[in-house]
């Protein structure tokens, strides 16, 4: 069974740069994914990163070993501050501008999980529309514009698991996927622009990663080599998906894969033996025309399988956009 973050967070524990050759306008251009850089690595355990141009959020254990996690946010190089209230636990979800959606668990024994919306700049909670939180287990939220992607129902339980997309303004809701299997997992990955990704195991290790286009309401299963187990997907605003794949078990031949909207999937990084990841998050600053190259920052939590210790890393991946350069699509 793959290692997962404690407290039933609901996701998955990267990487050495690999060169990728891309062709453009008759000339060959070599692009590269950078070597991994430690973002948060202390004596505590750090998991579940999410980022934007100016903000980084992540969860940190209260003790050196596995213990309850608090959610922290940091603006540029300013001191970090705690987001979740006292006597609760928090896990990062997604950021859009200064809006953060995160998972909140109360009490020492997590029997309920809800989503919360938070204004990072003002450091105060924001209201979520009714109908998002329920008596069921809500988890793994990600936000883009007016849309919220999240999971409902506990993984690996008899619950009916749902993958939901909800418009926070109009109330429109789309059921993107559903699963009922006590040995199964259905969990949201990331929502970015008009693209959403998620993981589905029915049961583990029979797993798939999916990409959804909000503008066309179409779902695509991403290609994975036979025998590999995909997990921990993220996506940039241009639809390029990133996910990990490896052999069954923790830290066995784990690779970071880039899957663009068109063209083959490419392995851009490999983890050392005994290392794995649970969650990734992709952020791409907008390039300035006429530059066609975009760089995506892929944040991920990395675990040492034997010691169950966690830190946060980042890989920067550069790719070429098809000409002409245009803004990311939007939902009509």
Query: Strand pairing of 46-51 and 229-235?
Result: unpaired
Q: What is the pLDDT of residue 220?
A: 97
Q: What is the pLDDT of residues 67-88, one digit of tens each?
A: 899 999 999 999 999 999 999 9
pLDDT band at 323 (very low <50, low <70, confident <90, very high): low
**233 and 198 Cβ atoms separated by less than 8 Å:** yes
Q: Is the peptide bond before 140 cis (omega within 30 degrees of 0)?
A: no
Q: What is the pLDDT of residue 276?
A: 97
SS3 211: strand
Q: Which of 298, 305, 306 is nearest to 17 (CA)?
A: 298
Q: What is the pLDDT of residue 107?
A: 63
pLDDT for 322 beyond 80: no
Q: What is the pLDDT of residues 144-164, one digit of tens each?
A: 999 999 999 999 999 999 999
Rounded Cα distance, 109 and 46, in Å: 20
Q: What is the pLDDT of residues 198-255, one digit of tens each?
A: 999 999 999 999 999 999 999 999 999 999 999 999 999 999 999 999 999 999 999 9
More confident residue, 257 or 1: 257
Q: And the tokens for 87? A: 């006597």
Dihedral, CA atoms, 200, 83, 133, 243, nearest 10 degrees?
-10
**83 and 72 Cβ atoms separated by less than 8 Å:** yes
More confident residue, 65 or 104: 104
Q: What is the pLDDT of residues 5-62, one digit of tens each?
A: 444 444 433 222 222 233 333 233 446 688 888 999 999 999 999 999 999 999 999 9
pLDDT for 303 beyond 80: yes
Residues in the chain: 332
pLDDT band at 321 (very low <50, low <70, confident <90, very high): confident
pLDDT band at 289 (very low <50, low <70, confident <90, very high): confident
Average pLDDT, the chain: 88
Mean per-residue pLDDT, 293-314: 96
Q: What is the pLDDT of residue 16?
A: 24
Rounded Cα distance, 271 and 94, in Å: 24
Q: What is the pLDDT of residues 103-132, one digit of tens each?
A: 999 865 567 899 999 999 999 999 999 999
Rounded Cα distance, 208 and 239, in Å: 17
Rounded Cα distance, 153 and 103, in Å: 13
pLDDT for 301 beyond 50: yes
Q: What is the pLDDT of residue 320?
A: 82
């Amino acid at each position: 069974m793959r290692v997962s973050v404690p407290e039933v967070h609901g996701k998955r524990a990267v990487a050495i740069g690999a060169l990728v050759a891309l062709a453009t306008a008759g000339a060959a251009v070599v692009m590269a994914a950078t070597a991994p850089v430690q973002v948060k690595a202390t004596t505590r355990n750090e998991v579940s990163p999410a980022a934007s141009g100016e903000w980084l959020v992540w969860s940190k254990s209260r003790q050196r070993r596995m213990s309850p996690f608090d959610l922290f946010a940091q603006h540029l190089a300013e001191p970090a501050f705690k987001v979740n209230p006292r006597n609760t636990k928090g896990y990062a979800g997604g950021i859009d501008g200064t809006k953060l959606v995160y998972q909140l668990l109360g009490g020492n024994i997590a029997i309920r999980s809800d989503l919360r919306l938070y204004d990072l700049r003002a450091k105060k909670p924001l209201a979520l529309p009714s109908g998002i939180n329920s008596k069921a287990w809500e988890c793994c939220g990600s936000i883009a514009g007016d849309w919220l992607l999240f999971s409902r129902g506990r993984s690996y339980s008899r619950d009916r698991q749902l993958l939901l997309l909800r418009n926070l303004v109009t109330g429109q809701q789309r059921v993107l996927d559903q699963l009922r299997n006590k040995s199964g997992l259905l969990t949201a990955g990331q929502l970015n622009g008009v693209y959403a990704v998620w993981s589905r195991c029915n049961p583990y290790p029979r797993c798939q990663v999916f990409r959804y286009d909000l503008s066309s309401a179409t779902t695509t299963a991403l290609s994975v080599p036979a025998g590999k187990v995909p997990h921990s997907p993220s996506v940039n605003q241009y639809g390029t998906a990133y996910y990990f794949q490896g052999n069954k078990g923790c830290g066995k031949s784990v690779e970071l894969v880039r899957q663009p909207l068109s063209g083959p999937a490419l392995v851009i990084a490999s983890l050392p033996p005994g290392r794995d990841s649970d969650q990734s998050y992709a952020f791409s600053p907008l390039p300035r025309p006429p530059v066609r190259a975009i760089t995506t920052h892929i944040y991920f939590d990395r675990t040492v399988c034997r010691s169950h210790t966690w830190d946060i890393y980042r890989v920067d991946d550069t790719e070429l956009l098809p000409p002409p350069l245009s803004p990311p699509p939007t939902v009509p």
